[in-house]
């Protein structure tokens, strides 16, 4: 999950925190505002769901990495 977030928004993030939890705790928040909470929704996020939820907050994903062709 962190890799997905960093791939899209690393240049605009000042901090990304990962916190381990127990019993399947999984929460995503931006500036203290909840974006996804497994305990509330009773499910894991689907592939790309967190990215979709973060786009309105952080803006469109940034193409900041140069693709290497070898």
Contact 27, 33 (CB under 8 A): no
Name the token pair of 14. 């000042």
Contact 45, 26 (CB under 8 A): yes
**Look-up: residue for tokens 């916190």?**
19
- Which fold is adopted by the domain 2-58? Glutaredoxin (3.40.30)
pLDDT digits (tens, 9 = 90+) for 2-15: 888 888 898 888 88
pLDDT digits (tens, 9 = 90+) for 15-69: 888 777 778 888 898 988 899 999 899 999 999 999 999 999 999 988 876 655 5
Q: Can you give the pTM of this predicted structure?
A: 0.77
């Amino acid at each position: 999950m962190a890799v997905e977030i960093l791939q899209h928004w690393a240049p605009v993030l000042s901090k990304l925190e990962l916190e381990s939890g127990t019993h399947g705790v999984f929460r995503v928040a931006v500036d203290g505002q909840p974006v996804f909470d497994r305990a509330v929704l009773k499910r894991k996020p689907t592939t790309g769901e967190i990215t979709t939820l973060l786009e309105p907050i952080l803006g469109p994903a940034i193409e900041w990495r140069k693709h290497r062709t070898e």
